[in-house]
Amino acid sequence: MKIDTTPEVSGMGHSMKRKEDPRFIRGKGNYVDDIQLPGMLYMDIVRSPFAHAKIKSINTEKALKIPGVLAVITGETLAKYNLHWMPTLMSDTQMVLPVEKVVYQSQEVAAVIATSRYIAADGVDAVEVDYEPLPVVVDPFKALEPGATVIRTDKKDKKDNHIFHWEVGDRAATEKAFAEAEVVVKQDCYIPRIHVASIETCGCIADFDRVNGKLTVYMTTQAPHAIRTVFALVAGHVGLSEERIRIISPDIGGGFGGKVPVYPGYVIATAASVVIGKPIKWIEDRMENLQADSFARDYWMKAELAAKKDGTITALRIKTLADHGCADAAANPSKFPAGLFSICTGSYDIKHAFAEVDGAYTNKPPGGVAYRCSFRVTEAVHMIERVTDILAQQLKMDPAELRLKNFIPKEKFPYQSALGWEYDSGDYARALKLAMERIGYPALRKEQAEKRARGELMGIGISSFTEIVGAGPSKHFDILGIKMFDSAEIRIHPTGKAIARFGTKSQGQGHETTYAQIIAEELGIPASAVQIEEGDTDTAPYGLGTYASRSTPTAGAAGAMAARKIREKAKKIAAHLLEVSPEDLVWETGKFSVRGAPQRSKTIQEIAFAAYTNHPQGMEAGLEAVCYYDPPNLTFPFGSYICVVDIDRGTGQVKIRRFMAVDDCGNIINPMIVDGQIHGGLSMGMAPALMEEISYDENGNVQGGSFMDYLVPTAMETPSWETDKTVTPSPHHPFGAKGVGESATVGAPPAIVNAVVDALSHLGVTHVEIPMTPERVWRILKEKGVAE
Amino acid sequence: MARISLKVNGTQHVHEVEPRMLLVHYLREVLSLTGTHVGCDTSQCGACTVLLDGKAVKACSVLAVQADGSEVKTVEGLAQDGRLHPLQEGFWEEHGLQCGFCTPGMLMAAYGLLQSNPHPDEHAIRAGLEGNLCRCTGYHNIVKAVQHATKTMAEGTSKTAAPARTVGAA
């Protein structure tokens, strides 16, 4: 990629050091729990030990006797204001606090308000709740059987646990293709329930100012504007009006999708602040975070691939059961109950495809958020990359060769997929070939053959994924009806410096740096002189927030477009200053000069000064612009990953020896930050592949509800990553970029699974479920008679 | 209530605290040193790592009263005279942080590591930071950041003579 600006300006392509880092490395970040307000009270939550139980009584007497405990809020308290239920992002309903029964373990039952967090915790211990346990539904397949205990008895006409059926594709044509197929492979695959486990948990400070009637909520949210509107819609009947609601999302300690939903704790703290008239802080602890906040995944998939004997894939069919827990609280665009799962044809030119997903209620926490991935894309990519390998294994073809044979050829872009997407750009073969070259693929295959002869278990796994990120366009994408555009507002100060505000919210992605670089690229103002702000709904333009890798495709694009509006006005001012016609001016980074007379020019700084001191008569003073950008399409980043594993025959431990990631996210703003995003994504891809899972016993007791049981990788398990890139710009994005924050989370898991299966393929193994823990792998080794 | 007297980042403090108060809450809420973070309740995540009498400890697992008579160093005490510590510089140079939440704990754990082993190899760095979780970076650039610090400390080539406030292009 060509770099057009100097390091001083640091536009696109510069690995500029991050502007946000000085505060973080000094411990001067400002996260929600760092904020102390005068008179602030603390909230702690009583949670259910049962997964399904009637609440017979809640006795708050002992709790209220504790000095410093001021109030105990129950479902009955909220019911007075009709706030005991709330809508989910998928237009389902979810309890804020229960009145009749609880439907998952660790569900919020009551909240204690006290003068300190220690006393609030004492209060929680003193609240006495009498439960009557009910039959528990844990297995989503059993949940859909006739006669299963109905969980959502709150819904008048609901007689079962089925949430939705969704399907896409041509069923008849796909069935015909399967009937005519020379080869068919099938695989069931479970993608377990996991948790984003951002190191900062969720929380808020709700501060209702009784005098002015204004509510300010400092909140760990990835989408502050949408939250404000939801608050106004949900609590309008108790007098909260949108102009008097201010959501502030300060520094956020990691989001990964887990900070998109509205959790009951936010609503209870807000209600408590309105009633008590004091700021209320609620910060969940790690166990509450893992046990009650939105989960990710939990997809039970059955996939079939039809092909010719030469390896040409002809059709794909996938049937999925999605376990949504007790409510459909997925964070998907409204029209997509299964997210963007229909990207499941992946990187391959598959003529016929059909996919269907059914959602089921179970006695588990609600959710279905992403885990550093676009909506349900990880599940889709895992499945297609697995069955592609299984087909290669069956046909005794090299998995790289099979992929190269079936890739959508680069001449076919923009490409219409069988399930309805228009892929914007791609060159899949180039990425895979580069990965193979970088890792030394033929030599690895040779080494593997030698090791296999000696009885050693070594595997090489490939994943060639296609992501789908950057929602809108708004004609298809909305959240609760709010269209998924995003926004930027730029103001140029008289001295040529700038402030820009965006509708998104960084949670570590580095927006303060990359957005400044976009503006530097477009206007020639040094990125160091562009201040970026996000997350305060009183000041930032309306936007849908940061998740699903949408910031660069949407708000980043808005930044470039707003800057171009400013450049248009700057051109008129420059023409006025140079006493020429605007048509006679040419732009080069940071200045307009007269065509044919380059010595006659005005810098952006001179123009900015003139915008406030010497602007043309008839023109408005000032130099600023706003853009609400509605993308014409999504962006489709892609890549090819190759993973090399060694398996210990004594312990079953999988060791990632090498991992080569070639990514293509189009044009790059900051290579250093992109690499960092990929490193992190790879690690969050490795985590569920090898370690993480939240499961439940038959009584609905959570297994994996603390960091003692939920194994987040440390520096020891995580390998040193190798990265490279190809650059295939998006043709429709203003500066040719695509999203990148989640590509690696999507692409990495099947590369690791394919490597493990490859290491065991000579033993007849065709599939291994995740997480591939030492125990799970060791059992396979034992069964195959190769455990030491 | 219990009376404690301790030195934090070189300043002597005397306070009456509840005997059950955790050191991390004392630092964050009594002294307003909010750079030390809380990320779990079971001492796995290490976001609360500080130095207690020169040793890296998890401040969520130490009572404030246990620190009575001790010296505590937090992330706020790393930079000296407005100059970044080489570890802070390394994290900035090598993009060793993203959301920044684990960063103070990582810095203090790395500080503790370099005190006992000034020249750790990659494995020793990874082992030394095993008690600190990061979700954003995949540890890749954290390892590089510590390597950067060990190099500049050994060579005496730290750039920290420059004002630490400057933000510029790499």
ipTM score: 0.97
Residues in chain B: 170
CB contact under 8 A, A676 and B137: yes
Q: Do B135 and A197 touch (CB under 8 A)?
A: yes
Q: For residue A648, give how far its alpha carbon lies from the nearest alpha carbon of chain B (Å).
A: 19
pLDDT at position B170 over 80: no
The answer for A 494-513 residues in CB contact with B (under 8 A) is: 507-510
Same domain membership, residue B72 and residue B11? yes
CB A50 within 8 A of CB A105: yes
Element (H, E) at A570: helix A557-578
Considering B77, B109, B142, which residue would you say is the last residue of a domain? B77
Has residue B167 been placed in a domain?
no
* Count of domains for chain B: 2
User: What is the C-alpha separation between B40 and A496, in angstroms, rounded?
Assistant: 45
Q: Do A33 and B38 touch (CB under 8 A)?
A: yes
CA of B31 to nearest chain A CA: how many angstroms apart?
12
Q: Which of B49, B77, B105 is the last residue of a domain?
A: B77
Assigned domain for B47 exists: yes
Residues of chain A with CATH 3.30.365.10: 21-29+486-629, 430-465+634-788
**B69 and B91 inside one domain:** no
CATH architecture type of domain A21-29+486-629: 2-Layer Sandwich (3.30)
| B102 neighbourhood in chain A, CB within 8 Å | 199, 253
What's the CA gap between B152 and B144, in Å, rounded? 12
Query: Hey, are the CB atoms on A25 and B91 less than 8 Å from each other?
Result: yes
B35/A27 CB distance under 8 A: yes
Q: Is B82 on the interface with A (CB under 8 A)?
A: no
Q: For residue B169, what pLDDT is reported?
A: 36
Give yes or no for A671 touching B (CB within 8 A). no
DSSP letter, residue A219: E
Residue A1: the pLDDT is 76
pLDDT computed for residue A239 by the predictor: 86
Nearest-5° angle of CA B123, CA B129, CA B130?
Answer: 85
Contact list in A for residue B144 (CB cut-off 8 A) is: none
Question: In terms of C-beta density within 10 A (0-12 exposed, 13-18 middle, 19 or more buried), how is residue A411 classed?
Answer: exposed
Structure tokens of B64? 């404030």
Is residue B70 situated within a structural domain? yes
Please check whether residues B9 and B67 belong to one and the same domain. yes
Q: With CB atoms and an 8 Å threshold, state whether A528 touches B132.
A: no
Last residue of a domain, one of B56, B77, B98: B77
Tokens of A266: 């936010």
Query: What's the confidence (pLDDT) of residue B163?
Result: 38
A68, A114 Cβ separation under 8 angstroms: yes
Using a CB–CB cutoff of 8 Å, tell me whether A38 touches chain B: no
Q: Are residues B35 and B61 in the same domain?
A: yes
The verdict on B37 and B7 lying in the same domain is yes
- Provide the pLDDT for residue A238: 86
Nearest CA in chain A to B35: A27
C-alpha to C-alpha distance for A536 and A247, rounded to whole angstroms: 6
- Same-domain pairing of B7 and B33: yes
Assess A197–B contact: CB distance below 8 Å, yes or no. yes
Answer yes or no: do B100 and A251 touch at CB < 8 A.
yes
Q: Which of A472, A388, A468, A418 is nearest to A743 (CA)?
A: A468
- Inspect the interface and report whether the beta carbons of B134 and A199 lie closer than 8 Å: yes
CATH number of the domain enclosing B57 = 3.10.20.30
- The residue with tokens 């709150």 is A154
Q: What is the mean pLDDT of each run of 10 residues along chain A (788 residues)?
A: 94 98 98 98 98 98 98 97 94 97 98 98 98 98 98 96 98 98 98 98 97 97 96 89 97 97 97 96 98 97 98 98 97 94 98 98 94 95 98 98 98 98 98 98 98 98 98 94 96 98 98 98 98 98 96 98 98 98 96 97 98 96 98 98 98 98 98 98 98 98 96 98 98 98 97 98 98 98 97
Is some CB atom of chain B closer than 8 A to the CB atom of A3?
no
Same structural domain for residues B92 and B134? yes
Q: Which of A16, A251, A715 sits opposite B126 (nearest CB)?
A: A715
Residue A426 backbone dihedrals phi, psi, to 5 degrees: -175, 155
Asked if residue B32 and residue B64 are part of one domain, the reply reads yes
Between chains, do B99 and A708 touch, taking CB under 8 Å as contact? no
Whose tokens are 């670089």? That residue is A517
Chain B CB contacts of A253 under 8 Å are 37, 39, 99-102
Give the residue-averaged pLDDT of B25-33: 98
Amino acid at A116: S
Residue from the list A117, A676, A718 with its beta carbon closest to the beta carbon of B98:
A676
Q: Which residues of A are catalytic?
A: 222, 372-373, 742
Question: To the nearest whole angstrom, how far is the Cα of B157 from the nearest Cα of chain A?
Answer: 19
**Does residue B140 belong to any structural domain of this protein?**
yes
Stretch 103-142 of chain B: residues touching chain A, C-beta under 8 Å: 103-104, 107, 122, 125-127, 129-142
Contact (CB<8Å) A708/B39: no
Tokens of A660: 């080569």
Domain shared by B99 and B68, yes or no: no
**Paired tokens of A366:** 């609600």
B140: CATH: 1.10.150.120
Pick from A319, A317, A347, A308: nearest CA to A173:
A317
DSSP string of A230-257?
A: HHHHHHGGGT--GGGEEEE--B-S--TT
Q: Give the CATH fold of the A430-465+634-788 domain.
A: Aldehyde Oxidoreductase; domain 4 (3.30.365)
Backbone angles phi, psi at A167, to 5 degrees: -145, 155
How far B16 CA lies from chain A's nearest CA (Å)? Answer: 15
Shortest Cα distance, chain B CAs vs residue A18, angstroms: 7
Chain A residues with CB-CB distance to B139 below 8 A:
679, 683, 714-715, 718
**CA closest to A719 among chain B residues:** B140
The 10 Å Cβ neighbour count of residue B46 is 26
Same domain? B116 vs B97: yes
User: Residue B161: pLDDT above 70?
Assistant: no
Whether residue B92 has pLDDT greater than 80: yes
- Cβ–Cβ contact B45 with A under 8 A: yes
Going from the C-alpha of A119 to that of each of A41, A42, A115, A125, A271, the distances in angstroms are: 10, 9, 7, 10, 20
Print the domain residue range for B71.
Answer: 2-77
CA–CA dist A504, A259 (Å, integer)? 13
B29, B32, B42 member nearest A707 (Cβ): B42
Same domain, B91 and B137: yes
Say whether pLDDT at B157 is over 80: no
Same domain for B122 and B102: yes
Q: Which helix (H) or strand (E) holds A187?
A: strand A183-194
Q: How far is B88 from chain A (nearest CA, A)?
A: 6
